């Protein structure tokens, strides 16, 4: 599959690059960004952290605002950030910011008109990683992280695919989407009215059903405006159990939902993933 390089910048000895490609899974043109640390070489492939962003974001938010490159270069981690949904004039959309383009929710839609393009789960777990491994000096070792809607995506995808990911982390994730307005609106549109089909994309419901999961780190700001209505970290804590695996939910006083919060703790998340990707 051909890639079109549209930007590149050297940073901390490595390279941040953006690419366009034609996605067979999403039936549209897609954009992603990759950071390759200075250690990356064909003779020395590096592990990859996949980052999933939140509502209204693109591949650029994390790469420009998180301040992740210094630590990624030190640890020798590649980072891949993708767009949050299919894009294009023929791609179904909605007037609201929380549905349609910019709001793919990292699931496979089953309902018309969304099902033609909105197959983000398959894009994240299959098509994009295969593309990355084909074109860049990275190994098959991967972990996953995200913010808000992307935190929901990282948690659900990581929990459902423990053999694909060594670790999972999230900032301010939507932990119980079947019980919050953002999730209910998106799931009704993308998956239909049968709520039993929604459970496969709900972190709290998934944790109830797994016997064992890979290590998980969650950071949540206590001054987040979306804390109680949309994110519900207490629901995640309530279903966690030590025998199922490491799940550390940290409430951070004074922090909100912004990238200022992410930038404050991103080094710790990268170190968490590096530990598990090198074991």
- Tens-digit pLDDT profile for residues 132-181: 999 999 999 999 999 999 999 999 999 999 999 999 999 999 999 999 99
Q: How many helices (H) and strands (E) does the chain have?
A: 9, 9
In the chain, domain spans: 4-277
Distances, alpha carbon 6 to alpha carbons 16, 32, 150, 257, in Å: 11, 10, 24, 30
Is residue 224 part of the annotated active site? The answer reads yes
End-to-end CA distance of the chain: 32
Is residue 95 part of the annotated active site? The answer reads no
Q: Smallest Cα–Cα separation from 170: which of 223, 107, 236, 99? A: 236
Out of 23, 167, 224, 240, pick the active-site residue. Answer: 224
What is the predicted pLDDT for the residue at 8? 98
Low-confidence ranges of the chain (pLDDT < 50): none
Is residue 257 part of the annotated active site? The answer reads yes
Out of 257, 269, 273, 276, pick the active-site residue. Answer: 257
CATH of 4-277, one of 3.40.50.1820, 3.10.129.10, 3.40.309.10, 3.40.50.720: 3.40.50.1820
What is the predicted pLDDT for the residue at 279? 78
């Amino acid at each position: 599959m051909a890639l079109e390089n549209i930007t590149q910048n050297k940073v901390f000895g490595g390279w941040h690059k953006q690419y366009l490609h034609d996605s067979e899974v999403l039936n549209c043109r897609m954009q992603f960004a990759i950071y390759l640390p200075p250690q990356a070489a064909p003779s020395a492939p590096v592990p990859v952290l996949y980052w999933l962003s939140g509502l209204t974001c693109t591949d650029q938010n994390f790469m420009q605002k998180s301040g992740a490159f210094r630590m990624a270069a030190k640890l020798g981690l590649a980072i891949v950030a993708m767009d949050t949904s299919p894009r294009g004039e023929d791609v179904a959309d909605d007037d609201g910011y929380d549905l349609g383009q910019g709001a793919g929710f990292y699931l496979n839609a089953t309902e018309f008109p969304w099902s033609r393009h909105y197959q983000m789960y398959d894009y994240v777990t299959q098509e994009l990683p295969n593309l990355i491994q084909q074109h860049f000096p990275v190994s098959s070792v991967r972990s996953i992280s995200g913010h808000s809607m992307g935190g929901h995506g990282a948690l659900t995808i990581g929990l459902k695919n423990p053999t694909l990911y060594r670790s999972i982390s999230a900032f301010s994730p939507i932990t119980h989407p079947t019980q919050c307005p953002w999730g209910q609106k998106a799931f009704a549109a993308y998956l239909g009215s049968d709520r039993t089909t929604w459970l496969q994309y709900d972190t709290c419901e998934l944790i109830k059903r797994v016997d064992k999961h890979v290590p998980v780190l969650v950071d949540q700001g206590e001054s987040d405006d979306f804390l109680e209505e949309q994110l519900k970290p207490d629901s995640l804590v309530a279903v966690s159990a030590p025998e199922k695996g490491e799940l550390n939910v940290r409430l951070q006083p004074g922090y909100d939902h912004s990238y200022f919060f992410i930038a404050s703790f991103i080094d710790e998340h990268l170190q968490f993933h590096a530990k598990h990707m090198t074991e």
